[in-house]
Copies of this chain bind each other. A is one copy, B any other.
Amino acid sequence: MDRFYPEPKGRIWLETEGQNFLGTGRIELLEKIEELGSLRKAAIAMGMSYRKAYYAIKSVNLLSSSPLVTFSHGGKGGGSTLVTTEGKNMIGRFRSFETSFVKFLTDQEQFFRQE
């Protein structure tokens, strides 16, 4: 028997119009935004540049039939970024998708352990 065997791995995401819409990174970013109410703070919390976070979220909204986040700038606190009901709903569905995928990968392990 081998000391090491191949492990099934993978990555999943969602596409709309044939373009990258949501993956694990963007979902984490949405969750941070939901938690902190600010795109900048969320980016910093994830060790990500604001620019990258901004472009990611901008792309998410462009590819969604209804916005997953809303923005306001200026005023008290300088502005804010909020996750909409649709956004929270999408986060939940993606996480379910992800959980099923982890199970799928685990189930596949047996086929690569056998001698």
Contacts and interface: CB of A to CB of B under 8 A. Distances in A.
A108 B97 contact: yes
Number of copies: 2
A3 B63 CA distance: 12
A22 interface: yes
B9 A10 contact: no
Interface of A: 2-17, 21-22, 65, 90, 93, 96-97, 100-101, 104, 108, 111-112
A4 B15 CA distance: 10
A44 B14 CA distance: 33
Contacts of A65: 2-5
Given A3-B65, A4-B17, A65-B3, A10 B96 contact: no
